[in-house]
Amino acid sequence: MAIKHQTPMLDELEKGPWPSFVTDIKQMAEAGKDACADLLGQLELSYKEKEGHWKHGGIVGVLGYGGGVIGRYSDVPELFPGVEHFHTLRVNQPASKFYKTERLREVMDIWNRRGSGMVNMHGSTGDMVLLGAFTEELEPIFAELTQKGWDLGGSGSALRTPSCCVGKARCEWSCIDTQDICYSLTQEYQDEMHRPAWPYKFKFKISGCPNDCVASIARSDCSIIGTWRDNIRIDQKAVAAYAGGELAANGGAHGTDTKLDIQADVCDLCPTQCMSFDGKELKINDAECTRCMHCINMMPQALRPGTDTGATVLIGAKAPILEGAQMGSVILPFIKMEDGYDDFKEFVDKMWDWWDENGKNRERIGELIQRLGLSAFIKACDLDPIPQMIKEPRSNPYIFYKEDEVPGGFERDIADYRKRHAR
């Protein structure tokens, strides 16, 4: 089928040096996809009228699952019958998004026969997003996908598809096996993922080191970030090679002939000022190191994370929907991630019970913590308050103590304070 709608405004989006989604959709329309041709027509109409023409689809899905399909219909189906139904299927991506070509072909074969052929690789949660199916095709697509070993991901007020960075598969800095953790959580919490039963959505994201390549600290209710609790490993010979300009700073990211100034580029930029360099030997006071990765990023052949590895767990990040955007707060500064992750899962169960019990409709766990207080949350999770649970680095604790928890009471504290600040 040729392009059947005139799209002068969309055509503008094909100009310039960038890839254009309009060109991609036109290619599919020319290959005979009615849904793609009508999608362009409807979008052009929306641009012209400055009005969306999708209506949310109510409840559509597949048998036994409460999520994984997002319903959508056109409100002008008489003009654009190819997108009368335009449901989205979320397909659970493999951990770290590694695919074999033959496995991708399986999905595309099913999707080209039964859907629009358009795919978003990947949705921001991580799933492969198959865009544009008719209601009567949903069950057959689901049956064919699952028969090949694929599954739908999460949607609605459920656990969303867990996602992770490339981890130990490709990154020497990964302190935890992100893929195994991702797979383990996905398998353990199938019920929570496919049967929405919570106040709102919940996301796990797993990064192997504090560089946090999946931006879990900003995008997931529960962020699992690999770290270490022993010392940074130092190769002093390689330090000398960086100092002498034989090795390029930052893996050559700033050009191979850039000589590293260890004092200015590394020590002076260490956020805790815990490093020193006398021109020969690099020293680190590891007790003060916050594991920010700056020095390791700058001198990857000289410095490496320690070997006693585990994860830091942060809770409460979210994008701005009800309240503003929020970053995660450290709740578990260090947890070993081993033995099927039983300790971590025990913590997760307590956290979910509290949120399920207390959360209002469409309230993320981070917002609930803000509303009821961090102390209520850590009590529900059987944790003790510790200095790492802070709102801003090295300041502003948001744990409040009750009077009977302060030896001598508040009055003694106030008297001490007045004495210390007397003029």
- Which residues are at the interface with ligand SF4 (CB under 6 A)? 270-272, 274-275, 284, 289-295
Report, in Å, the least distance between residue 270 CB and ligand SF4: 3
- Please say which residue, 156 or 300, places its beta carbon nearer to ligand SF4: 300
- Please say which residue, 48 or 233, places its beta carbon nearer to ligand SF4: 233
Report, in Å, the least distance between residue 274 CB and ligand SF4: 5
The dihedral of CA 286, 305, 296, 165: what is its sign? Answer: negative
- Please say which residue, 128 or 270, places its beta carbon nearer to ligand SF4: 270
Report, in Å, the least distance between residue 295 CB and ligand SF4: 3
- Please say which residue, 228 or 355, places its beta carbon nearer to ligand SF4: 228
Q: How remote is the C-alpha of 387 from its chain's centroid?
A: 25
Residue at 111: amino acid letter? W
Report, in Å, the least distance between residue 266 CB and ligand SF4: 7
Q: Are 367 and 318 in contact (CB under 8 A)?
A: yes
The dihedral of CA 122, 123, 129, 131: what is its sign? Answer: negative
Report, in Å, the least distance between residue 293 CB and ligand SF4: 5
373-379-381-385 Cα dihedral, nearest 10 degrees: 80
Report, in Å, the least distance between residue 393 CB and ligand SF4: 11
- Please say which residue, 224 or 282, places its beta carbon nearer to ligand SF4: 282
- Please say which residue, 128 or 289, places its beta carbon nearer to ligand SF4: 289
Residues in Cβ contact with 416 at an 8 Å cutoff, skipping those fewer than 6 apart:
none
Report, in Å, the least distance between residue 297 CB and ligand SF4: 9
Report, in Å, the least distance between residue 10 CB and ligand SF4: 47
- Please say which residue, 33 or 291, places its beta carbon nearer to ligand SF4: 291
Q: Are 83 and 74 in contact (CB under 8 A)?
A: yes
Burial of 133 (0-12, 13-18, 19+ CB in 10 A): buried
- Please say which residue, 188 or 286, places its beta carbon nearer to ligand SF4: 286
First to last CA, the chain: 86
